[in-house]
Amino acid sequence: MIIGLDVGGTTIDTVAIENGKVVAFKKFERGRSLIDSALESLNQFISKEMISNLERITLSTTVTTNAIVQNNLDKVGMIIENGIGANPEFLMCGDMNFFADGYINNRGIEINPVNIESVKSALQSFKQEGIENLGIVGKFSVRNPQHELSVFKAAKEYNFKFVSVGYKLSGKLNFPRRVFSTYLNCAVYSTFNMFYKSILTFSQERKIPLEKIFIQKPDGGIVNLQNIESFPIFSILSGPAASAQGGFVLSNFAKNAIIIDIGGTTTDIAFLSNGNLVLEPYGAKIGKYPTLVRAIYSRSVGLGAESIVKIVDDTVKIGPETKRWYEKGKNEFITFYDVLQFSNSCHESPINAGLKSLSSQLNMSQENFCKLVISRAVSMIEEKIKEGIEYINNLPVYTINKLLYGEKFAPQKIILIGGPAELLKPHLENELKIKVEVPKHYMVANAIGCAIGSISKEYNLVADTIQGKMVIPELNIYQSIPADFTIDQAKKVLIEKVLECREAKNQDDVEIVDESSFNMIRSFKFCGRMIRIKAQLKPKLLNLRD
Amino acid sequence: MLKAKNSLGLILFPAFDWRISPTHPEREERLLYTIDQIEEEGLFDYENIKIYNPEMIESKYIEMTHFCIPAISSIVTVSHKIAAGSAITIAKKVLSKEVEKGFALIRPPGHHAHRITYGDRGFCIINNEAIMVEYLRKEYKIKKIAIIDTDCHHGDGTQDIFWNDKDVLFISLHQDGTTLYPGTGFTDEMGGPSAIGYTLNLPLPPYTSDEGFLYCLDNLIIPVLEEFKPDIIINSAGQDNHYSDPLTNMNFSAQGYAKLTEKLSPNISVLEGGYSIESALPYVNLGIIFAFAGIDYSNIKEPDYNPERLKQSQRTTDYIKRLCEHVYSIWKSKEEREYNIKMANQDYYVRKKSIYYDTMGFRENQLEKIKICKKCSGLILIDSLCLGYRVLAIVIPHDACNDCENEGHKLFENTEVGDYSHILLQDKKSFEFFRKPL
Ligand SMILES: [Zn+2]
Ligand SMILES: [Zn+2]
């Protein structure tokens, strides 16, 4: 039995899956306290029988995202080794920031050492100001984390509550994002900890071992609650990931498609290219911060079932304001859902008066008014789809082969999920002239996506035979290699290491997605190779049988 | 997200899967560390710095710029077509005002490619900026163009193509031709009979530092540009003046390149040479990009930067001062010089040229004749011998008068193939290309 729970903007969706079949699902209304209502819903949903053959529970929650958006954050001290580049002022995201000297270059070679004495006095002053969370980030630290690690070591004697080093968050290059990710990772620590403790209590009360509780990550993968303790930031933005993943599975693993999830307040659009969900090239943007947190690329429109339809300056406006659950019963608002319903049935309904008044303001029949509203909504969605397709097709390529022969993304269909999917389907199909599928269980696709989430990860190996060094930042591997190390060896080593670290069960689960080897020439002579390999775990998603 | 002061379009196309030979300085690794530095700097995250993928160039634009012998298909590789296409792509983005400025970081370079090209010279086969100029004139009707070549090597190919073209002001700063390939670019090379003074060369002594380059900019290039009033400024941005470059002997730094870019403020830059791929390019390119975008670049310094060690000698400073004065006097006296040349050469202005293809080890001999015409810049006829080919190349300039245009077409039609392997006509006025035998 697998249980998925997705906390959305208006509802909490739960689902139970057994032997590839959805055996139970329920939508709960979301209360004011997010954690409390999530756990309450889970408590109500889970029966004793479910627990007895429980494989795992996966939660997708917005607690940490909300903390960031609402600026409910811990105080953080940042040690930043900014090296050569932009003026570092814009990186001062912490409550206290110290710019350390020292520089590691793009090949991971130490150019200037870090001055630990000055770092120590900064740490001292952080403590004096009552700062308990510490972020440590250096430029090019994923090529060589020595400086981050020596600061980390120095920080031990100051007993910070939570310390995060930048290189562990991602193997990708992008220093500002590394700084912001590390900062946020520290800043959401207390919020996440509170959430963690609530779940701990819940798991003890219901006698569910903690190893069976997972969190949905923004890249669609899942991670065990215990393993995420040092990376609370990985619990952000899981909502769009759950819906993308759910749409993907319910589509029977379509190759090239668009997944549209129309919810209560927003519509999220994700893209499936060549059988993979398209990811953000560097990572998610959270609040005002671009980060290195691996995430599914999605576009969002402030348009949902509960979006209020208004007339502003003689034109129709839909959303982004919504009629929230606690406002139910007030009939003066017309929502997008009302319009969809009227348009599909044309029945007299309690909303008729409101609709009549709106349509008469534009001198239109109710039918035509509804058509106008829907076509406006569809074009809002269409605009974001176009934006996404253009974005994906214009991602930079660095080789002639990819430039000339790289496949262009051309979606073949739309997978439409979320509450009003059935009602919206004919309109989307007519106006966009593309096949639209509404899969079974479209109402709880998010919870399904959350339940069946797989472990997905990316690994970057960089080997430099002049230095005789190899790094795989994601696995925390920094080791020596012989001078005659080759690209084939590198590929083998990377797969071996992933298996050794038990991130995959067998080598077929690891896929090499990018590889290159550069001859390094110094003084007109060959003197070594720069090898770069990128691998990923092939997502293994459960096949639903109904 | 971050925002730069000026919007900037970038093409970053390192062509990681293309090389001339395994140890050639113009190789796959060339832009690797630059891309690393740019990625680590988070440049992709500035909302008004846009990265574009290049397009492939249409053969038409190559034909309207070069005579490729024996044919485009046999000497121009895919990577050259992409490099030239990049220049077109970035020009489109700037001219359509999608971005204010554009910088194409591409390889291979192009500024040693002459009007007639038999293959690779100084890692160039076709001239990226020259092709861009033809494109700008054809598609955007741009008239006055300035090309400032800041590569350490003399931009002899670009000079050759616009030699007799008054609408294109070409200024090249480079290490003195007596000490560096291609051995040309002296102050007495100042343009053909109808464009005297529109080619200006500043041969600089070895070990010129930031100070010297910026002096030329302040005291010659900027004043000349102010007088010429170009519609667009293009920078052939070679980065081999850097103090760590293995092929040259200059003392320019990343700070110097950034300041030069800021002062010159070109609309479009296209990367040329630069072979210190690890110690210079990441920092120089970042400095240029920051200067373009109006981002503070004061923290971009090479790890081993030491301005004291790079200081130029007093002799160099004095020499550069005299050089700028001399070149400025050429610019000032251009009308008078043109008059004198046209008086001395009544029908045709004739030049003998010998062009060495360093990478391939052969020599081309040319006889170039430029018609002295009162109504236009004059028909150009070139007789070229190389590799057993004999080529008659006819160029009808874009400003051609009816007489010159008719004369060019008649000559093309009436010349028997006979001894020639190629008879070619580039009609820039009607943007048409003709060849014999077919
Ligand atoms: Zn050069
Ligand atoms: Zn004429």
- Cα–Cα distances in angstroms (integers) from residue B132 to residues B34, B59, B82, in the given order: 24, 13, 12
CA B133, distance to chain mean position in Å, is: 10
- Residues near A524 by beta carbon (within 8 Å), at least 6 away in sequence: B23, B25, B246
Q: Are A25 and A45 in contact (CB under 8 A)?
A: no
* CA atoms in the 13 A half-sphere facing the CB of B206: 9
- Cα–Cα distances in angstroms (integers) from residue A263 to residues A286, A312, A443, in the given order: 20, 24, 9
Q: What is the 3-class SS of A246-287, one letter each residue? A: HHHHHCCCCCCEEEEEECCCCEEEEEEECCEECECCCCCEEC
pLDDT at A416: 97
Which residues of B are identified as catalytic?
112
Alpha helical stretches, state H, B182-240: 210-216, 222-228
- Report the share of chain B in percent with pLDDT over 90: 91
Do B300 and A84 lie within an 8 Å CB cutoff?
yes
Total of domains in chain B? 2
Report the alpha-carbon distance of residue A33 to residue A23 in Å, rounded. 28
Total of domains in chain A? 2
Alpha helical stretches, state H, B52-174: 59-63, 72-75, 78-95, 128-140, 156-161
∠B344-B346-B349 over CA atoms, to 5°?
Answer: 80
Residue B338 lies in a domain: no
Pick the ligand that lies closest to the CA of residue B242: 1
At which of B327, B359, B377 does a domain end? B327
What type of residue is A173? L
Residue B257 lies in a domain: yes
Domain shared by B131 and B260, yes or no: yes
Do A396 and B51 lie within an 8 Å CB cutoff?
yes
Residue B337 lies in a domain: no
Report the alpha-carbon distance of residue B257 to residue B238 in Å, rounded. 10
Domain shared by B321 and B368, yes or no: no
Q: Are B325 and B216 in contact (CB under 8 A)?
A: no
pLDDT at A325: 46
On the question of pLDDT at B418 being above 60, the answer is yes
Residue A417 lies in a domain: no
Q: Are A458 and A281 in contact (CB under 8 A)?
A: no
- Would you state the structure tokens that stand for residue B272, as one six-digit string? 């040329």
Residues in chain B: 438
Residue A231 lies in a domain: yes
pLDDT at A330: 56
| Chain segment B5-18, per-residue pLDDT in tens | 999 999 999 988 88
- Which phi and psi (to 5°) does residue B28 adopt? -55, -35
Looking only at the bridges linking them, the beta strands covering A285-286 and A289-290 are: antiparallel
Strand partners, B433: B426
The beta-carbon neighbor of B300 closest among A85, A394, A521 is A85
CATH number of the domain encompassing residue A34: 3.30.420.40
Looking only at the bridges linking them, the beta strands covering A276-277 and A267-273 are: antiparallel
Residue B274 lies in a domain: yes
What type of residue is A387? E
Domain shared by B374 and B318, yes or no: no
Q: Are A213 and A197 in contact (CB under 8 A)?
A: no
Domain shared by B145 and B267, yes or no: yes
Q: Which residue of B has its CA nearest to A110?
A: B303
Residue A510 lies in a domain: yes
Residue A485 lies in a domain: yes
Query: How many cross-chain Cβ pairs, A to B, lie less than 8 Å apart?
Result: 117
- CB of B209 within 8 Å of any CB in chain A? no
Report the alpha-carbon distance of residue A303 to residue A336 in Å, rounded. 8
Residue B366 CA, ligand 2 centroid: distance in Å: 22
pLDDT at A323: 75
Residue A329 lies in a domain: no
Domain shared by B320 and B375, yes or no: no
Whether the bond between B70 and the residue before it is cis, its omega within 30 degrees of 0, is yes
Q: Which residue of A has its CA nearest to B56?
A: A404
* Distance in Å, alpha carbon of A452 to nearest chain B alpha carbon: 33
Report the alpha-carbon distance of residue A53 to residue A1 in Å, rounded. 6
**What residues 4-33 of chain B have any CB closer than 8 A to a CB of chain A?**
12-18, 22-23, 25, 27-29, 32-33
Report the alpha-carbon distance of residue A349 to residue B404 in Å, rounded. 82
pLDDT at A347: 61
| Chain segment B337-381, per-residue pLDDT in tens | 999 999 998 899 999 999 999 888 999 999 999 999 999 999 999
pLDDT at A346: 58
pLDDT at A353: 75
- Letter string b/e over residues B36-74, b meaning 16 or more CB atoms within 10 A of that residue's CB: bbbbbbbbbbbebbbbbbbbbbeeebbbbbbbbbeebee
Residue B14 lies in a domain: yes
Domain shared by B304 and B418, yes or no: no
Residue A523 lies in domain: 456-537
- Letter string b/e over residues B261-293, b meaning 16 or more CB atoms within 10 A of that residue's CB: beebebbbbbbbbbbbbbbbbbbbbbbbbbbbb
Residue B111 lies in a domain: yes
- Would you state the structure tokens that stand for residue A474, as one six-digit string? 């994601």
Per-position pLDDT tens, chain A of length 546 = 999 998 877 788 899 999 888 999 998 888 878 888 888 999 899 988 888 899 999 988 777 887 888 888 999 999 999 999 999 999 999 999 999 999 999 999 999 999 999 999 999 999 999 999 999 999 999 999 999 999 999 999 999 999 999 999 999 999 999 999 999 999 999 989 988 998 899 999 999 999 999 988 898 888 888 888 889 999 887 778 888 999 998 988 889 999 999 988 889 999 999 888 999 999 998 888 999 999 999 999 999 988 989 888 888 999 888 876 445 555 667 889 989 988 887 565 666 778 888 888 888 888 899 999 999 999 999 999 999 999 999 999 999 888 888 888 999 999 999 989 999 999 999 999 999 999 998 988 888 888 887 777 889 999 999 999 999 998 889 999 999 999 999 999 999 998 888 777 888 888 898 888 888 888 777 889 999 999 988 777 777 776
Residue with the bigger pLDDT between B158 and A359: it is B158
Report the alpha-carbon distance of residue A347 to residue A351 in Å, rounded. 10
* Residues from chain B contacting residue A170 (CB–CB below 8 Å): none
| Chain segment B241-275, per-residue pLDDT in tens | 999 999 999 999 999 999 999 999 999 999 999 98
Cβ atoms < 10 Å from Cβ of A113:
13
CA B4, distance to chain mean position in Å, is: 28
Whether the bond between B246 and the residue before it is cis, its omega within 30 degrees of 0, is no
Domain shared by B323 and B354, yes or no: no
CA A343, distance to chain mean position in Å, is: 35
- CB of B39 within 8 Å of any CB in chain A? yes
Residue B421 lies in domain: 346-435
Pick among A99, A105, A297, A390 to test the B interface (most B CBs inside 10 A): A105
CATH number of the domain encompassing residue B203: 3.40.800.20
**What residues 294-313 of chain B have any CB closer than 8 A to a CB of chain A?**
295-296, 298-303
* Distance in Å, alpha carbon of B191 to nearest chain A alpha carbon: 36
Cβ atoms < 10 Å from Cβ of B332:
13
Cβ atoms < 10 Å from Cβ of A479:
12
Residue A67 lies in a domain: no
Do A177 and B25 lie within an 8 Å CB cutoff?
no
Helix (H, G, I), strand (E, B) or coil at B4: coil
Do B283 and A84 lie within an 8 Å CB cutoff?
yes
DSSP summary character for residue A335: B
Pick among A293, A400, A516, A531 to test the B interface (most B CBs inside 10 A): A400
Domain shared by B287 and B388, yes or no: no
Domain shared by B264 and B190, yes or no: yes
**What residues 214-273 of chain B have any CB closer than 8 A to a CB of chain A?**
246
Residue A336 lies in a domain: no
- Which phi and psi (to 5°) does residue B215 adopt? -65, -45
| Chain segment B399-410, per-residue pLDDT in tens | 999 999 999 999
Residue A292 lies in a domain: no
The beta-carbon neighbor of B27 closest among A111, A521, A523 is A521
Domain shared by B351 and B321, yes or no: no
| Chain segment B17-42, per-residue pLDDT in tens | 888 777 788 888 889 999 999 999 99
Do B35 and A85 lie within an 8 Å CB cutoff?
no
Rounded mean pLDDT, B72-93: 95
User: ipTM of the predicted structure?
Assistant: 0.91
Report the alpha-carbon distance of residue B68 to residue B62 in Å, rounded. 8
Helix (H, G, I), strand (E, B) or coil at B149: strand
pLDDT at A326: 45
